Structure formats: structure tokens, C-alpha cells
Amino acid sequence: MRNVYVLGTGMIKFGRYPEKTVPELGAEAALIALKDAGITIKDVEMFASGNLYQSNAMVGQRILQQIGQTGIPVINVANACATGSTAFREAYLSVASGMYDIAMAVGVEQMGKAGLLGGGGGGSDPAYSPEGKLGSGLMPAVFGQAGIEHMRKYGTRMEHFAKISVKSHKHATRNPFSQYQNEVSLEDVMNARMVAYPNTLYMCCPTGDGAAAAILVSEDKLKKFAAGRKRPKIAASVLTSDPWTERDLTLPDVSTLTRRAAKQAYEKAGIGPEDIALTELHDCFATAELVHYENLYLCKEGEAAKFIDEGGGVHPDLGGKCPVNVSGGLLSKGHPLGATGVANICEVVWHLTQDERAKARQVPNAKAGLAHVIGLGSACTIHILTV
């Protein structure tokens, strides 16, 4: 496999764009990434498009119908919340394999004000829907239970989850691309409306719209187009699914597949968690972020609460260490499902290249960063980028 680099990135501010279509949102991000890369759509040889809610509607081709129908191969990818990062990985593989030299990945989603996700099943007669009658499959409850499992094992308290939300909201105030950019206090989070214990409103990510894009190139094309600009290497691109574990079919196990992916990614990149300057991880809920501190080996098993109490996850500018989700994370930046996986790679790239777009929140001396996504069902991607 060949080395692959991220030549350009593009992202629109996450939010709500009821006046626009999914292909329009994707096209906007794609054009920003192409411009950032210093190429045009005519240079792109392969395109992987990530979108979940219109996954049967040829979103990738419709994006090209907006920005340039060059006839290149297009793959439309759906992989739950890991949709965008899986599209990115398909673009990576197409270049790493030697098949193509320049590939584009776009992640895009339009959710509007879609409410609670999950909780399907039951067939055509709603009387047989198990939701609320045989427990809950709604995401806040599923991830609430993942947090409670940590409480059960290690005595973690609700305050620890709440502190994560406080931290991520504070981070988001310095990210103009974030859907929400407001600070919240510990009291605000603890006293907010309960959605599914222990996740209060501010411990749940919002729904919304957004798009992000990346241009991936071989070393030859990097030399041709980067013109001396610093561009990160994709040091690891890993995708796992949920292996059989004891309760996975009843309570989705988001930890085992993340740990497997993390081990593979660190090994492939030839670095360890201590070398990672910043992590963008899948904080769909505050409870998820806490368990992923351990799953990504940012702290020891059972010590996530201690990690938080000691300033772990907080931007160094704010007195913390081992910064996590300096973008504001899904909790503040937003979680337009298909866009998320590409957007968190954009964030890592911007810090590694001292990009203007992350200037206000630049992590110092960033040489390596990690982007993690979980799609429930389950799919886990981890990308490690280095400069």
C-alpha cells in the first residue's frame, strides 16, 4: 500500500439549512476542499460520498451534477454514524492501492430537527413496536446504559459525565464551524432536562445539517500540488465491526470494536496514545466520550473519571492535557450523521497544518492526531494523521 496524504479539506458550519438540498450542502464542502487543495473537479479520479438518510438516492452523483459531471467512479457509502469516515476510508484505499492518484471524500447530512433516533422494529403494525414496551433502543438510553455500566464497574458519578459536556461546550466557543457556541456551567448541565439518565439535554448531541470534504492524494500528486505546503499523511485507517461479545445483541457494545480499532491504528501508525496531540472522538453523548477515553487508551482502564478530574481532555490553553474534541465535539459542533466522520478528520488536519480555520483553538506542537467514529450497529473507524 502506498502513502496517502490529505491535500485539501472543506467544511461548512454545522447548523440548519432548510433552504438547501443535500447535494447542495455536499457540493459546497467539496468546492471548498478542491480550492484548498489547489485542484479542480477535473483532477479528481474517484469520489466516495457518505450520506445516511438518502443512501438510496445517489447523493454522490447528484453532488457531481452540481459541481462537474466528469464521469468518474462514485461510491455511495452508508455506515450509520461512521458513514463519512467510511467514505473517507474508501477514498484512502483507492489511492493507497495504487488504483487512483487523487480521490475525493464528502460526508453530508440533512437531519433538520429530527428528534430521538433509534427505537425501530416491530413490523408494519405499531402495536408490535417494542420501543418503550420492552425497554428502549433510543440512542440516549443506549448510551446512558453504557455510562451506567462504567458507574457499575468503577463508581463513576454523573458529575464526571457532566464535566465532559462543560468542557466541550467551552471548546466550541472558539470554533466558528460549531452548531452551538455557548458555554454551560456544571450546574446548567446537571440541572438541565433529563433525556435518559444520566444524559441530560446538554449531554446529548444535537441533530442538524452539515457537510465536510477531503481530497486525498498519492505522494507524486502531493509533490505536484502541495507546492511546499505542509500536508498530513494518513498514518492509519482502520475499520472494525462489532465482534460477538456477551451482551452485544441486547446492549450494543461500543467498547470492544473501538479497542480493537485503536490497537490496530496505533500499531499501523507506529506510535502510541502518548504521541497523539489531539483526539476527535465520537461523543454522541457525554457518557460515550468517557468510555472512549479508556477505549482509545488515553487513560488506563477504570481511570476515566480520574482523567477528567485531572484536566484530561481539556485544551492546554485552558489548563488541560491530552485534548479531546477541541472542535466542541458532537455535543456542541453538531452531528449531521454522514458529515461527522469527515468533519472530525478536517479538525485534526487543521491543527496539524496550522490552518487558519483552527487558529483560535490551535493545539500547540501538533504532530499527530486521531479521529474516531462509532456507527451504532456497529462500525468503528479510526484515522491517525501525522506530519
Partner 1 sequence: MAEQAQATAETGPRPIVPFLKLGAEPHLVGTKCSCGAVFLDTKRIACSKCGSTGPFETVRLSTRGKVYVFSVVHQSFPGIKTPYITAIVDLPEGVSVRTNLVDLDPLAVEKDPKQLFDMPVEMTTQVVAKDRQGNDVVAFAFRPIKH
Q: How far is the CB of 252 from partner 1 (least distance, A)?
A: 11
| Site membership for partner 1, residue 140 (CB under 8 A) | yes
Q: Pairing mode, if any, of strands 321-323 and 379-386?
A: unpaired
Q: Which is nearer to partner 1, 23 or 198 (CB)?
A: 198
Distance in Å from the first CA to the final CA of the chain: 19
| Site membership for partner 1, residue 35 (CB under 8 A) | no
* Piece of 218-226, 243-251, 335-343, 349-357 that binds partner 1 (CB under 8 A): 243-251
Q: In a 3-state reduction of DSSP, which class is residue 25?
A: helix
Member of 91, 196, 348, 349 binding partner 1 (CB under 8 A): 196
Q: How far is the CB of 196 from partner 1 (least distance, A)?
A: 5
Residue type, 149: E
C-alpha cell at 262: 485503536
Sign, Cα dihedral of 180, 283, 345, 24 = negative
| Site membership for partner 1, residue 251 (CB under 8 A) | yes
| Site membership for partner 1, residue 254 (CB under 8 A) | no
Q: Is the peptide bond before 243 cis (omega within 30 degrees of 0)?
A: no
| Site membership for partner 1, residue 145 (CB under 8 A) | yes
CB 265 within 8 A of CB 370: yes
* Piece of 34-42, 78-86, 134-142, 212-220 that binds partner 1 (CB under 8 A): 134-142
Q: How far is the CB of 15 from partner 1 (least distance, A)?
A: 22
Catalytic residue set: 81
Q: Which is nearer to partner 1, 2 or 152 (CB)?
A: 152
Looking at residues 97 to 126 of the shown chain, list those that interact with partner 1 (rule: CB under 8 A). 116, 119, 123-126
| Site membership for partner 1, residue 149 (CB under 8 A) | yes
| Site membership for partner 1, residue 134 (CB under 8 A) | yes
DSSP state at residue 11:
E
Which spans in the chain are helix H?
22-37, 59-67, 83-96, 139-154, 158-172, 186-191, 219-226, 256-269, 286-295, 304-309, 329-333, 337-352
**Number of chain positions touching partner 1 (CB under 8 A):** 40
* Piece of 149-157, 173-181, 311-319, 344-352 that binds partner 1 (CB under 8 A): 149-157
Tally Cβ neighbours within 10 Å of residue 321: 13
**Contacts (Cβ under 8 Å, ≥6 apart) of 13:** 176, 177, 178, 179, 210
Q: Which residues bind partner 1 (CB under 8 A)?
A: 116, 119, 123-138, 140-142, 144-145, 148-149, 151-152, 193-199, 244, 246-247, 249-251
